[in-house]
Structure 1
Amino acid sequence: MDPEQTLRHAMDLLLKHDFDGFARMWAEDAVMEFPFAPADAPGRLEGGAVVAAYMRDYPNHIDLQAIPYLEIHRTETPGRVVAEMRATGRVVGTGEPYEMSYIAVIDIEDGRFVRYRDYWNPLKMPDSMRGAA
């Protein structure tokens, strides 16, 4: 798969709530960064297993139902894409709607994420989730 197909496959896994499959999309030495993370949340995760552990609780907080917008931009850097996306669903603990826009800069090698910089806005996080992210 090329980087765009790899990212689309990963989003499909998330929508199917296949978090084990999503976890396998990460290289052993992968890095996930959150440049705008609030002070009480991690700004950087190192290692595919660490990313998988971080994502394990995601379905306990967010019932992801759709990614109604996904635009993937190719770059001049081999294996790198920039994705603009919007995710919708429900906050599990309260049932309130969840909607978040993201921009991510993603490096992919051999069909696996090696670096994922997730530029999401923590100010848009539902109040019921603060401290759970």
Structure 2
Amino acid sequence: MTTADLAERFLRALETRDVEQIIPLWNDNGVMEFPYVPEGSPSRFEGVDAIRTTLASAFVQRTMMSFFDVTSYQAVDPNFAFVEFKGDMTLQSGAPYNNTYIAKVEARDGKLIHFKEFFNPLVDLAAGNPREAENQ
């Protein structure tokens, strides 16, 4: 499985909102990073336990997640890929949350070790910053 395939598998697993289906895709020392989160929200989660906790919280805040228009780019280095995608979500409040993303993905031995996701932070702020609510 290529790193690009693994990234797409991760997105599909996120749609299930089942943390225990997602965690096996990660290396124990994996890092999930969101450099553009609005102020007041954590932007880096190191280790599978931190990833598990933040995803479980995100799934409470989002009652539906769907990713589409997914385009993957496998780098020449087999450990790296880039993924462009769009997401439709429904927040716990019932409000829609739609954003566009680019992720830099790194994997080793068939496991994710770094997923760095870039998105429009103004969409987070317009939605009431659901990431802030996750970490309260």
Assess same fold via TM > 0.5: yes
For the 8 Å contact 2:2–2:74, the answer to whether it is kept is no
Give 5+ residue unaligned stretches, structure 1.
Answer: none
For the 8 Å contact 1:14–1:64, the answer to whether it is kept is no
For the 8 Å contact 2:102–2:119, the answer to whether it is kept is yes
Q: Which residue of 1 aligns with 2:74?
A: 74
Which amino acid in 2 is paired with 1:60? V
Query: Which piece of structure 1 moves more, 98-107 or 25-34?
Result: 25-34
Report the TM-score when normalising by structure 2: 0.86
Q: Which residue of 1 aligns with 2:96?
A: 97
Q: Structure 2: how far apart are the matches of 1:18 and 1:130? A: 18
Instruction: List per-residue Cα deviations over 1:20-55 (Å, max 9, x = no partner).
Output: 111221111111222212221112221121111111
Number of residue-to-residue matches in the alignment: 132
Cα distance 1:38–1:65, how it changes in 2: closer, same or farther (>3 A)? closer
**RMSD, aligned CA:** 1.7
Q: Which residue of 2 aligns with 1:113?
A: 112
Cα distance 1:31–1:65, how it changes in 2: closer, same or farther (>3 A)? closer
How much identity, in percent, do the aligned residues show? 22
Instruction: List per-residue Cα deviations over 1:72-122 (Å, max 9, x = no partner).
Output: 011122211101111112111x21112111110000112211011111222
Which amino acid in 2 is paired with 1:88? D
Q: Structure 2: how far apart are the matches of 1:45 and 1:57? A: 13
Cα distance 1:128–1:45, how it changes in 2: closer, same or farther (>3 A)? closer
Give 5+ residue unaligned stretches, structure 2.
Answer: none
Which amino acid in 1 is paired with 2:113? V
Give the match's secondary structure for 1:20: helix
Q: How does 1:19-58 map to 2 (within 5 A)?
A: 19-58=19-58
Q: Which residue of 2 aligns with 1:129?
A: 130
Give the match's secondary structure for 1:57: helix
